[in-house]
A and B are shown apart, each in its own frame.
Chain A
Amino acid sequence: MSAVVEVSNLTKRFGHFTAIDDVSFRVEENTIHGLLGRNGAGKTTIMQLLTGQDFATSGDIRVFGQSPVENAAVLGNTCFIKESQRYPDNFKPFHVFRSAPWFFPNWDEEYAQLLIADFRLPLNRRIKKLSRGQLSAIGVIVGLASRAPLTFFDEPYLGLDAVARQIFYDRLLEDYAERPRTVILSTHLIDEVSNLLEHVLVIDEGRVIIDEAAEDARGSATTVVGPRGAVDAFLGRREILHRDGIGGLASVTVGPLTGPERAAAAAAGLELAPVSLQQLIIRKTNVSQTEFEQSA
């Protein structure tokens, strides 16, 4: 497989603040990547750097093998759907869809019309008067219909209702299956998208803390539940990601367990519970569940 994006030792500082701290990763062609992390972790900054909207302090960025900065060949093949895209004051959605083909050579007008009907987007209303969800729908439609070989969605569904989010997931998968492309999806709704992702990249405080196949990330932690003494005896000196307990019961999240270890746990009367991608990221970025959900 060839890499669409190659980043090495990328650093971005804003004054004294280091937003991106010596980050290296690659994005393989035609995969759906999840770019995950807490607010302020540096996800949007990375996407801005990859799309040439900002300049790196140091390090190297290759998109389709070239630097994206002021590079029409790269940017014509790239679509970046921003979290809060701004439009000219008197713009209506149809203006957006009429101008989109100027920027995206692969624009598929028929597909755009289909999506507009799916999302029930009013074309002739001023964008200022649209709801937050309808505004997000515009971005999702542009992103999908752009058919750009490299498409970034930064938190694409703020305000989108559950039905509209499901439409987005279904359309994305359907289109991806028919015409594979590289998609980088940044979101807080990790549980909702985790099955769509082939690869996850988790950023925390400007550094990459997880960079692996989604399937491997999902299987990389287990929660052991049982009487405190038995749990501690089983875990020994193993590294603990998270610990919870009530009464004499302990619930401890640790790294992956081997087959024999799982059997030993079962024999000791301990229960093994899976750890979802979202929980894993919460454990690894050291926040409580409630804090994380509020930020979503």
Chain B
Amino acid sequence: MDESRPIFVQIAEQIENDILDGVLAEESQVPSTNEFAAFYRINPATAGKGVNLLVESDVLYKKRGIGMFVRAGSRALLVAKRREQFQDEFVRPLVAEAAKLGISAEELTRMISHTPAVDSPTARITGTEQVI
């Protein structure tokens, strides 16, 4: 947990990451609020707020008396959302830092193309089928 953003937002992001990484499959059950609270050592009410954030954005849904599940199709939804944020959150700071260090656009492009990609489920899936 870092201090810069509310903890419940970070819990929601962590669940999103697990869905993106394939750790939490679609239609699988996510850990309970109390399990999240114990694992991250946070107040259960805070963990519940994080989970609810994802219920509101249709990523998770509740099966009464059983628990929270990952909605089918939520992975594609999250990939789309994260792609939209990608430029602001990753490219902009990268370009700003490069400018500070006098790295030209060409050099930056070359560096990116020479950096080996990490094998992730997203990379595998988008390689064969277009998610967006």
Q: Can you list 23 pairs linking A and B with CB atoms under 8 Å apart?
A: A32-B43, A169-B41, A170-B41, A173-B38, A173-B41, A173-B42, A173-B43, A173-B44, A176-B44, A177-B33, A177-B34, A177-B37, A177-B44, A195-B42, A198-B43, A215-B46, A215-B49, A218-B6, A219-B6, A273-B4, A274-B4, A274-B5, A276-B3
Contact A215 B3 (CB under 8 A): no
Q: Which one of A169, A198, A275, A276 contacts B45 once the chains associate, using CB atoms below 8 Å?
A: A198
B interface residues (Cβ-Cβ under 8 A, vs A)? 1-8, 33-34, 37-38, 40-46, 49
Contact A195 B43 (CB under 8 A): yes
State A174–B37 Cα separation when bound (angstroms). Answer: 8
Given contacts A31-B45, A173-B43, could you give 9 more A-B pairs where the C-beta distance is less than 8 Å? A169-B41, A170-B38, A173-B38, A173-B41, A176-B44, A177-B33, A214-B43, A218-B3, A219-B6
How many Å from the CB of A184 to the closest CB on chain B?
14
Q: Which 6 A-B pairs have the closest CB atoms?
A: A177-B34, A274-B3, A274-B4, A195-B42, A198-B43, A198-B45
Chain B residue contacts of A173, Cβ below 8 A: 37-38, 41-44
State A195–B49 Cα separation when bound (angstroms). Answer: 13
Chain A residue contacts of B8, Cβ below 8 A: 215
How many Å from the CB of B98 to the closest CB on chain A?
16
Contact A174 B38 (CB under 8 A): yes
How many Å from the CB of A128 to the closest CB on chain B?
34
Interface string of A151-185 (1 = CB under 8 A from B): 00000000000000000011001101110000000
State A88–B41 Cα separation when bound (angstroms). Answer: 36
State A34–B41 Cα separation when bound (angstroms). Answer: 15
State A195–B44 Cα separation when bound (angstroms). Answer: 10
Contact B1 A178 (CB under 8 A): no
Chain A residue contacts of B45, Cβ below 8 A: 31, 198
